[in-house]
Amino acid sequence: MATQRLGAGPRGLPQPQLLVLLLLLLVLLLLLGPWPAAGHGGKYSREKNEPELPPKREPPNSPGGEFRMEKLNQLWEKAQRLQLSPVKLSELHADLKMQERDEFAWKKLKAEGLDEDGEKQAKLTRNLSVILAKYGLDGRKDARAVSSNSLSDPAEEDSLEDPRLEKLWHKAKTSGKFSSEELAKLWREFQHHKEKVHEYNVLLETLSRTEEVQENVISPFDVSRVKEDLLHSKHAELKDRLRGINQAYDRLRKVSHQGYGTETEFEEPRVIDLWDLAKSSNFTEKELESFREELKHFEAKIEKHNHYQKQLEISHQKLKHVESFGDPEHVSRNKEKYAMLEEKTKELGYKVKKHLQDLSGRISRARHNEL
């Protein structure tokens, strides 16, 4: 039997050649680059083969959210799922922005101990309830989304939901005293009045539920004092709204019978309401004249908002039409225009509602000074 040769590696390679081969392999491994650390990204590692976790929901204050408050983000997402029209979505966006502003203001007051009876908090809750009912977000099957700026033609009539209003509208329409432009203007006034009545009814129902809860929670010894303070504030708000509704109805009745006169100050229903209230408030002549000028600026702002609302609706219809043809470049251009109009409409809607709130507050303070 032949003896084994000393100094031979595997397969009979001499030992020096084996060392050279090992060095070449080491150099080759170094040239290929760093190996992934153990347990971090190897082809068969747990990280590579386990399913990815879903992304976490952004916190309320995240810059990616539409609003800073989570509950308002949830309402906004629900409205989008309900596929409200672009105009109604922009109106809802403005209402939610106002609600958010008021809630943050209330939190500051609460921190300073300025809402001890909780009435401002209760008012915020009532306002939110009105928003939910107005846009059909309260979960009720009969909820109706009411648009404050109807884009439809008067010929395509919605129900006014009040026999008295229906009768007045029919009389005006058949009287021959109105041009087509005046009929369109009058129809906007009727729609605005219907919205005000709807909001009043929602507020009345909300207050009734609140009173029932208070009667069940507050002990009999506390009811007389606390209930008197709270109910006075709540019913004062209802009384103001009802007064405004009655004044608006009297105006609609007068215009429906007589037509529009040359003395008409304003065109926009919300501005007309404010002017009528201002004239019956405790303003001096100088204050009233200043208020009149501000209303002119406010009406111009509303007209600009109405213009963008109409353009948004047109853009929405055009985008749907273009998407059906599938031309990517054409669709992309229309999407960009629609996004621009949508953002501008939201911005103007918020400014209009904020201005309306400020003007209404001035009238309310003037009225209370009379008492």
**What are the extents of the domains in the chain?**
70-135, 158-262, 266-370
CATH node for 70-135: 1.20.81.10
291-318, pLDDT tens digit by residue?
A: 999 999 999 999 999 999 999 999 999 9
Which whole-number Å values give the CA distances from 273 to 246, 252, 270, 283, in the listed order? 11, 11, 5, 16
C-alpha Rg value of the chain to the nearest Å: 34
Same fold, 158-262 and 266-370: yes
pLDDT surpasses 80 at 271: yes
Q: What is the pLDDT of residue 94?
A: 95
pLDDT surpasses 50 at 52: no
> CA-CA distance, 235 to 231, in Å (whole number)?
6
Confidence of residue 214 (pLDDT cuts 50, 70, 90): low
Question: By C-alpha distance, which of 225, 351, 215, 365 is closest to 281?
Answer: 365
Q: What is the pLDDT of residue 368?
A: 65
Facing residues of 77 across strands? Answer: none
How many Cα neighbours within 13 Å face the side chain of 343?
6
> CA-CA distance, 151 to 128, in Å (whole number)?
25
Q: What is the pLDDT of residue 231?
A: 60
pLDDT surpasses 80 at 215: no
Percent of the chain topping pLDDT 70? 71
pLDDT surpasses 50 at 245: yes
253-269, pLDDT tens digit by residue?
A: 988 888 887 667 888 99
Q: What is the pLDDT of residue 130?
A: 86
pLDDT surpasses 50 at 277: yes
Q: What is the mean pLDDT of residues 77-90?
A: 93
Q: What is the mean pLDDT of residues 103-118?
A: 85
Residue with more model confidence, 355 or 202 = 355
> CA-CA distance, 260 to 175, in Å (whole number)?
12
> CA-CA distance, 361 to 367, in Å (whole number)?
10
**Residue the block writes with tokens 């397969």:** 11
162-212, pLDDT tens digit by residue?
A: 899 999 999 999 988 888 888 988 998 999 899 889 888 888 887 777 666
Q: What is the pLDDT of residue 216?
A: 56
Q: What is the pLDDT of residue 118?
A: 74
Query: Which CATH architecture best describes the domain 158-262?
Result: Up-down Bundle (1.20)
**Pick among 2.40.50.100, 1.20.1260.10, 1.20.81.10, 1.10.3290.10: CATH of 266-370:** 1.20.81.10
**Residue the block writes with tokens 């309310």:** 364
pLDDT surpasses 80 at 77: yes
Q: What is the pLDDT of residue 210?
A: 62
Confidence of residue 147 (pLDDT cuts 50, 70, 90): very low
pLDDT surpasses 60 at 8: no
Q: What is the mean pLDDT of residues 317-346?
A: 90
pLDDT surpasses 90 at 288: yes
CA angle 78, 122, 108 (to 5 degrees): 90
Global confidence as pTM: 0.70
CA 91 to chain CA centroid, Å, is 6
